[in-house]
């Protein structure tokens, strides 16, 4: 596949540090869109603010770089105005679950046909490594120099509980599995959430003495298990670990479709 057809070469070089996982997730989104064979003009990629949220700037689709945490409201407006568009939101864990947390749960609840890809590096990368709602308890951040005492959100559990109809988790160490999950999310009609783990070597890695990017990726693997093998593992083996793969998929009423039905019903009356 020729990635350059989807990239704005004039915006290169990108800002991501060596070892950052964000480029891996961005490329997986491009492979999914390439497989979908969708016209570039029919795709919109929206983001908030953060290292991950720089992604739309590099992609040659209709793109919108909005304010921190507010990508989903912008995306909701775009999708409602033109439901034919394929709308993807790219977000960091801080962007999606802290400042944008309320938009996250209500987008799930509405089940609007938007695909939210959370580039989850367990930290605020862009602003220098403050802890986020997904920073594991005990891990360090610049605002948790002695270790985080808060409990972290499980992005997937939160998405499913709030009403998202496609939920998946994947790791940047396994790009093929990431491709399957992101493609599944993009193809699904309804609100899709992908918790894509992507290491921040510069802030999370350094503060937590995690070692190289490859070591961090390996640690992700050790913290997870394949959901397809869940039945074969004991509770002890799964304790403290996160399932990866396609975790939930349901055919639920979608917001734009319901909205159209409402307009038709009211117009007739
Ligand atoms: C309203 C507002 N509050 C705070 C900021 C500062 N800010 C910019 S990016 C960011 C954190 C980004 O972290 P995350 O969303 O996890 O993405 P990452 O950089 O790790 O990819 C913050 C707090 C801002 N730009 N606007
Ligand atoms: S600061 Fe962290 S998240 Fe931001 S580009 Fe560097 S490694 Fe990636």
Q: Find out whether the beta carbon of 94 lies less than 6 Å from any atom of ligand 1.
A: yes
User: Helix (H) and strand (E) counts for the chain?
Assistant: 11, 10
pLDDT per residue, tens digit, the chain (269 aa), is 999 999 999 999 999 999 999 999 999 999 999 999 999 999 999 999 999 999 999 999 999 999 999 999 999 999 999 999 999 999 999 999 999 999 999 999 999 999 999 999 999 999 999 999 999 999 999 999 999 999 999 999 999 999 999 999 999 999 999 999 999 999 999 999 999 999 999 999 999 999 999 999 999 999 999 999 999 999 999 999 999 999 999 999 999 999 999 999 999 76
Span from the CA of 15 to the centroid of ligand 2 (angstroms): 8
To which residue do tokens 């890695």 refer?
A: 205
Closest by CA position to 65, among listed 85, 99, 91, 39: 91
Asked if 68 and 80 count as a contact pair (C-beta separation under 8 A), the reply is no
Rounded Cα distance, 92 and 118, in Å: 5
Is 115 in a helix, a strand, or coil? Answer: strand
Rounded Cα distance, 125 and 98, in Å: 14
Span from the CA of 125 to the centroid of ligand 2 (angstroms): 5
| Residue minimizing CA distance to atom 16 of ligand 1 | 94
In testing the pocket of ligand 2, which one of 51, 53, 93, 172 has its CB within 8 Å of the most ligand atoms?
A: 51
Span from the CA of 204 to the centroid of ligand 1 (angstroms): 15
167, β-bridge pairs: 193, 248
Asked if 59 and 7 count as a contact pair (C-beta separation under 8 A), the reply is yes
Rounded Cα distance, 139 and 124, in Å: 13
In testing the pocket of ligand 1, which one of 48, 65, 68, 203 has its CB within 8 Å of the most ligand atoms?
A: 68
Closest by CA position to 181, among listed 197, 167, 191: 167
Which amino acids bring their CB within 6 angstroms of ligand 2? 16-17, 20, 22, 51, 121, 125-126, 200-203
| Residue minimizing CA distance to atom 5 of ligand 2 | 16
Rounded Cα distance, 177 and 168, in Å: 10
């Amino acid at each position: 596949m020729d990635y350059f057809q989807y990239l704005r070469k004039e915006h290169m070089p990108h800002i991501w540090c060596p070892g950052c996982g964000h480029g891996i997730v961005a490329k997986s989104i491009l492979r999914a869109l390439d497989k979908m064979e969708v016209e570039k003009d029919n795709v919109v990629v929206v983001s908030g603010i953060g290292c991950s949220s720089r992604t739309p700037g590099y992609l040659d689709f209709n793109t919108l770089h909005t304010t921190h945490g507010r990508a989903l409201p912008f995306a909701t407006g775009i999708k409602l105005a033109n439901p034919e568009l394929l709308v993807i939101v790219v977000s960091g864990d801080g962007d999606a679950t802290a400042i944008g947390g309320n938009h996250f749960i209500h987008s799930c609840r509405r089940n609007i046909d938007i695909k939210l890809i959370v580039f989850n590096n367990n930290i605020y990368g862009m602003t220098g490594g403050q802890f986020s709602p997904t920073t594991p308890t005990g891990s360090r951040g610049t605002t948790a120099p002695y270790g985080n005492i808060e409990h972290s959100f499980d992005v997937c559990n939160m998405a499913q509980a709030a009403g998202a109809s496609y939920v998946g988790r994947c790791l940047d160490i396994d790009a093929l599995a990431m491709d399957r999950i992101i493609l599944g999310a993009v193809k699904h009609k309804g609100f899709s959430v992908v918790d894509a783990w992507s290491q921040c070597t510069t802030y999370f890695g350094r503060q937590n003495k995690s070692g190289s990017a490859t070591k961090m990726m390996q640690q992700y693997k050790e913290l997870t298990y394949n959901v397809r093998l869940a039945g074969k593992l004991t509770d002890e083996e799964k304790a403290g670990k996160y399932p990866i793969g396609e975790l939930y998929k349901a055919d639920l009423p979608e917001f734009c479709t319901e909205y159209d039905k409402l307009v038709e019903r009211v117009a007739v009356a």
